[in-house]
Structure 1
């Protein structure tokens, strides 16, 4: 699942009125829209059609954007244009919208004439258009900035990433192997409400289908995967060939099912695997490897957390599934880990990831090969997707730092110590009051502003602790 830049349609709006007064103005302002798009190179792939000057232009342009499978629409006022010409098109638009309140020239100078006034009069067109969208109930972002500056790139880039994430979730299918863990209340939700609000569709994968897919794999694919692991990881010499072969078959079978069904995120529950009776071990290393390839994942059948990891991949890169294991008051930090699943791409660059043989009593099966690493020190962000009942969803977010903490030699699962900016006491008090779940996504870097932009576009609550 290769990552890509957000794909954005640039909708430049003007009107025919000025053509007679300023011959060539349409071509001039169209070139300006192309320059704006070029300024966004590296943060978005922009599609720039001809300027919109009539209602028919607007509706044709919007249809084309939706047919091109874009992530969002950036509206630019090339001159003033009456909003009623675009109201219907924007009211029915299914893509996230950002209104760029910009103009070609950053400063009003004594050299300006009526032509310059006309070229730079987008501000009142933006007001008319924004008013129409507000009255139509269309959510949108606004960016007022000098379009040649870094602030413009940064803010539009943040909106574009959020738009890419929103549209990705609208198309997402989440696979659940077996069922969700019994009694785990914070993962419970209304599937239809999740589909209506955010878009993900849940599909159950029978363990028997996973088993049949495993048994049908050609040996060459299994050998190829193990050879790749030998190159990527330090492989524990205690791992027998049979253990590695079985693990590789599980990983390849899961991925094949995901590809065949168009599934972008999944979750397995240890009881569903163990109770089936046909599996020798749990697919721990498989989860880590597939997260590293861009799939969302969560343990124990937790669809909400799998959606959060998928969103973290798209919004900030390299989403890592984890949970808060224990508090460490002397360092004001929280030990982050899980049973053995984690995105190895967030591991420390100065330590090779290890593929280890480790005992795991949970599930009552044989030892599962596990990818072991420590999370890279530096800024990091946690995010938890919360169902509040009905169609209310909330994202609880904490920014902080992964510490360069001592090794924990007996801990044979991915781990790291996260120190929240608000401190353990303040963060956890606020996290619990907000209903933050015990499974979450971790991304390297500070991304609270990105998550806030996502929540605004997705129509869900944002709560930073």
Structure 2
């Protein structure tokens, strides 16, 4: 089965570094094997006012060279570039719009090489079928004022139509976003790359297939969600599954396949002495069933829970999920327990940004060290662990039926971002995010993923602000500072982003007395 999503063969820059560091630390991490790999498809149209060409014969060739360089640099951002050429008037703009619509782009970039009228780009914005980013990249950092004539100045005049475009986009109901700089301006290209990454994540969700297996953990009202809001907000499809869909696949797993999964497990994990061989073999069989389930239903993510009763097969399946779900998550198919569909989506967003995203909740506040301890009783994102993950045997899963093996790890030390998907009273989804830093220190050894996160504020005050954001009690813990990327993604999807952090200008660090704040992100 083929689907149009934005799976990547490897993690992006931040995630790739985490992956390699994990290997250097001795953690053998399974290679991602997504079903389909597709780079973000970026449409490019460059333009300028045709009245200039006969007046200044050298201008158009210079602008075309700039446009070719922009296309080259975009391809270097691992994007598939659909270049529809250079437009000089409104008619050519309309023709470009039709070409871009047919190309089914994830993002359309309009390059303002010099002054051009709004009539040239409005058709592209209205009919191109994708979000539009306008870029104003002049040839160099500054003009040579002493030697430039009018024609040479006009090559630097891409800023002139930008306010015109913003005004007209507002009046015709098209969201406006732009990046200004010069052709080799690395700061500008970082911002352009951010929009392209966000477009890739948007595409992954629009074409995504999300499994929801089992039933709600009894009483978790915050986890309950309107399934229609998944395609309503991000696009994609929710495949409602039964645990029997997993049961028949686990039962059918060949002994050779289970043996291979056991060998993979021993390669990836350190096995604690508490791991019982029968429990490990069962977890490996369930993992084989999960692999088959994901392949058969072509899933990009999975959320699951089943309570079970008296050790019957469904209880054993539910208790045997953590190993296979962790391996899937490391392969780029996020799997979240407790029926957490919205958190599996948050994990997918983080993963496609190249930052991992491990299933997480609050565990305890450490006022002595000024950190918030957070994690979960599995699954964890093995590719972003600080050390080789440990597999521990548990005689009981706290708050759940069953017993078996569980994953113990902490997220790679350094900057991290917490990302959750909340749901408002009127049913709308919104993103909630905060940045912090995972630091070293003592951790519980109870078969949980646990990280010590310095949130830059008093742990109690921050926890109150984080909870008041409406995040729910689960989220994704991802590596790196993702707020700029999340702002771009929220803008492209029309989703509200609530940022929780320290007050503007306030000191950062434990005990600094900074008051946390939470507020919606507004795109300026």
Q: Same fold (TM over 0.5)?
A: yes
Q: Once the two structures are superposed, what CA deviation does each residue of 1:364-383 show, in whole Å capped at 9, x if it has no partner?
A: 3241x323222222211112
Aligned counterparts, 1:152-191, within 5 A: 152-191=188-227
Does 1:364 find its partner at 2:401?
A: yes
**Could you tell me how far apart the structure 1 residues matched to 2:389 and 2:105 are?**
37
1:139 corresponds to = 175
Aligned counterparts, 1:261-280, within 5 A: 261-271=297-307, 277-278=313-314, 280=316
**Could you tell me how far apart the structure 2 residues matched to 1:69 and 1:230 are?**
44
Does 1:309 find its partner at 2:347?
A: yes
Cα offset, 1:284, TM superposition: 0.5
Cα offset, 1:9, TM superposition: 2.4
Question: Is the alpha carbon distance of 1:12 and 1:256 closer, same or farther for their aligned partners in structure 2, counting shifts above 3 Å?
Answer: farther
CA RMSD of aligned residues (A): 2.6
- Asked if the contact 2:198–2:489 (Cα under 8 Å) also holds between the matched residues in 1, the reply is yes
**Could you tell me how far apart the structure 1 residues matched to 2:433 and 2:487 are?**
9
Structure 1 stretches of 4+ with a deviation exceeding 6 A read 272-276
SS in 2 for 1:186: coil
1:283 corresponds to = 321
Count the aligned residue pairs.
461
Unaligned runs of 5+ in 1: none
1:121 corresponds to = 157
Unaligned runs of 5+ in 2: 1-6, 13-38, 501-524
Q: Once the two structures are superposed, what CA deviation does each residue of 1:262-313 show, in whole Å capped at 9, x if it has no partner?
A: 3211101142698973453330011211111112332211111111111111
Of residues 353, 367, 390, the one that matches 2:389 is 353
1:254 corresponds to = 290
2:260 corresponds to = 224
SS in 1 for 2:293: helix
**Could you tell me how far apart the structure 2 residues matched to 1:33 and 1:46 are?**
16
Aligned counterparts, 1:56-455, within 5 A: 57-108=92-143, 109-236=145-272, 239-271=275-307, 277-278=313-314, 280=316, 281-348=319-386, 351-361=387-397, 362-367=399-404, 369-390=405-426, 392-409=428-445, 411-455=446-490
Q: Which has the higher helix share?
A: 1
Cα offset, 1:175, TM superposition: 0.8
1:14 corresponds to = 48
Cα offset, 1:200, TM superposition: 4.0
Question: Is the alpha carbon distance of 1:279 and 1:214 closer, same or farther for their aligned partners in structure 2, counting shifts above 3 Å?
Answer: farther
**Could you tell me how far apart the structure 1 residues matched to 2:470 and 2:42 are?**
35
Q: Which moved more, 1:62-71 or 1:393-402?
A: 62-71
TM-score norm. by structure 2 comes to: 0.81
